[in-house]
Amino acid sequence: MPRIGVLLSQHAYDLDGKALAALATKVEGLGFESVWLLDSFSRDPFLAASFILGNTTTLKVGTGVATVFSRDAMAATQARETLSEYYPGRFIMGLGASNEFIVQMRGGQWMPPVPKMTAYLEAMEAVQLSHPKPAELAPIHLAAHAPGLQNLALKHGQGIFTWILPVENVRQARAHVGPDFEVTANFPVILNEDPAEARRIARAMLTFYIPIPYYQAAYTKIGFGPEDFENGGSDRLIDAIVAWGSPETIKARVDEYAAAGASRVIINPIRAAQGEPVGGERDVNADWDGLEKLTNLLG
């Protein structure tokens, strides 16, 4: 059985501090292993992680993922060592390259992910900071959909993430990294048994992602084609990257990812914001209330 985490998306960052703490303690009380924070145009993920860790007792908190274009290697090492010392065994540093569009919006200079990540991780390892060292450093997990970044994770980290990828991609990743490496699969879940409505919600949430070339490349690698990327994604593609239906159906999908080699699954529970979504992420809300119905995933 994989460990089960919950993605605290931008909708969580929209909450004030009191409400965010209450959400984190709710997730902890329900028995989920961890929560994961985006690095978006909003709250700082490392400061938010510290806040959540300070308001919970056993919950693990990870960045899922922090982009290496948003802070230098020393700043990342400072965050890693500080959270490792203050919250032993409870922080996981997820790092990723994001994509050219987002990096440009942040005013950064894009470069291909493998050389950028190689230089970044080597720079992190060279940093020497003057403070008491934690007994154990938080693990580093890389967003790594292809062998190049997976090889870097094997050399410099302790795990990899996949993000909205089908089961077959996870199976390929597990075969590449071997049986003992951490593989975390992250995907949306929708507690809705109406196929048309569930797919409408999924397409609204995925408006930004499906057109991105590296996602299309990953999907193409396992048999999807250009027709699957049109009109918000074909039913076949949507059903492969989103778990929707009853709690039992979603549990079966999680089990598929576990059988493919995922040692952890991060669910992103979503629902329609108001009525039927019409084509964008603004039409989707987080489904925090649905978490109680998804505790069947925990055992």
Grade residue 98 by pLDDT with cuts at 50, 70 and 90: confident
Q: What is the per-residue pLDDT for 103?
A: 74
For residues 5-10, give the mean pLDDT: 96
Angstrom distances, CA of residue 144 to CA of 32, 64, 74, 82, 234: 24, 12, 22, 25, 24
225-270 pLDDT per residue, tens = 999 999 999 999 999 999 999 999 999 999 999 999 999 999 999 9
CA neighbor of 134 nearest in space, from 73, 181, 78, 50: 78
Is residue 281 pLDDT above 60, yes or no? no
Q: What is the per-residue pLDDT for 275?
A: 55
Return the percentage of the chain with pLDDT > 70, whole number.
Answer: 97
Q: What is the per-residue pLDDT for 277?
A: 45
19-67 pLDDT per residue, tens = 999 999 999 999 999 999 999 889 999 999 999 999 999 999 999 999 9
Grade residue 109 by pLDDT with cuts at 50, 70 and 90: confident
Report the chain's mean pLDDT, rounded to a whole number: 94
For 144, phi then psi, to 5°, come to -145, 100
For residues 278-290, give the mean pLDDT: 78
Cα separation of 62 and 91, whole Å? Answer: 6
Grade residue 280 by pLDDT with cuts at 50, 70 and 90: low
Q: What is the per-residue pLDDT for 293?
A: 98
Q: What is the per-residue pLDDT for 238?
A: 98
